[in-house]
Amino acid sequence: MAIVVERVSKRFGNFQAVDAVSLEIASGSLVALLGPSGSGKSTLLRLIAGLETPDAGKIWLTGEDATHRQVQDRNIGFVFQHYALFKHMTVRQNVAFGLEVRKVPRQRIKQRVDTLLELVQLQGLGNRYPAQLSGGQRQRVALARALAVEPKVLLLDEPFGALDARVRQELRSWLRRLHDEVHVTTVFVTHDQEEAMELSDQIVVIHQGRVEQVGSPAEVYDHPATPFVMGFVGPVN
Ligand code: ADP
Ligand code: MG
């Protein structure tokens, strides 16, 4: 298992955002955390990333207890909804950033950035600045940057949420192809049932900080485990 979440809880004040969640995510899979707004998806993702500390429970990454490990030691790549590209850096410099920090030799960085730009189909745009790119292109740069350091796990929080419907559709099929090529374990958060259905191997349905059901898109759709899942993803919406 790439990720094991073991009875993890997190509260903010009196609000239980994540409530004793247990979850296993297989290596190389593409998994959606699906649920309505406020259900605790982002908090769960941030707990896996190490951006939040659990009140209780454990998080295992590739077989090791990572519960108390710092973010930078978790070997994770992230992409958030609102692009966090460095505005004053070119596309190449953005993608290279994590490699520079790790003091990778210049020549290796150049090769790796070329490979990544090809992977996200942005060859030729390396010298542009984020302001000179479309929203979809910026998210592809963010993905290339996240992948640059060869993370064991890629975490995406509503990565296409801010984009218009057509671009979102394009990026979905593109992410699926990318995943089939790179095979990095990927967990992405969405509140969009269609996106989860179309893109993922497994769907984790989250409601009020708890896991309602885990299953393939077909299982979740055809055999909803709870009335909530039936209402949220089932055929009679
Ligand atoms: P989702 O991503 O499913 O929309 P979140 O995990 O962002 O849900 O949030 C779940 C709940 O926890 C929300 O009600 C939100 O207001 C609350 N919450 C999240 N982060 C914080 C925080 N840092 N401080 C206080 N409340 C928070
Ligand atoms: Mg969220």
Ligand 2 geometric centre to CA of 157 (Å): 7
| pLDDT given at position 235 | 63
Closest CA to 21 of 55, 57, 71: 57
Model pLDDT for residues 145-183, shown as the tens digit of each residue: 999 989 999 999 998 887 888 888 888 888 888 898 889
Sheet of strand 185-190: strand arrangement: 76-80, 153-157, 185-190, 30-34, 202-207, 210-215
Contact 75, 27 (CB under 8 A): no
Looking at the CA of residue 209, tell me the nearest atom of ligand 1: 10
Model pLDDT for residues 183-217, shown as the tens digit of each residue: 999 999 999 999 999 999 999 999 999 999 999 99
Contact 16, 187 (CB under 8 A): no
Q: Which of 39, 43, 193 to mutate to test the pocket of ligand 1 (most atoms within 8 A of CB)?
A: 43
Contact 50, 207 (CB under 8 A): no
Q: To the nearest whole number, what is the mean pLDDT of the chain?
A: 93
Looking at the CA of residue 44, tell me the nearest atom of ligand 1: 6
Take atom 26 of ligand 1 and give the residue whose Cα is closest.
12
| pLDDT given at position 177 | 87
| pLDDT given at position 64 | 95
For the segment 32-55, the average pLDDT, to the nearest whole number, is 97
Model pLDDT for residues 72-130, shown as the tens digit of each residue: 889 999 998 776 799 999 999 999 999 998 899 999 999 999 999 998 889 999 999 99
CA distances from 176 to 25, 72, 155, 183 (A): 17, 26, 14, 10
List the structure tokens of 136: 């979809």
Which of the listed ranges 3-12, 99-108, 225-234 does the model predict with the highest average pLDDT? 3-12
Pocket of ligand 1 (CB under 6 A): 12, 15, 17, 35, 37-43
Rounded Cα distance between 63 and 11, Å, is: 26
Which of the listed ranges 2-11, 65-74, 136-145, 176-185 does the model predict with the highest average pLDDT? 2-11
Q: pLDDT band at residue 219, thresholds of 50, 70 and 90?
A: very high
Ligand 2 geometric centre to CA of 40 (Å): 7
Ligand 1 geometric centre to CA of 224 (Å): 25
Ligand 2 geometric centre to CA of 6 (Å): 21
Take atom 15 of ligand 1 and give the residue whose Cα is closest.
38
Take atom 17 of ligand 1 and give the residue whose Cα is closest.
17
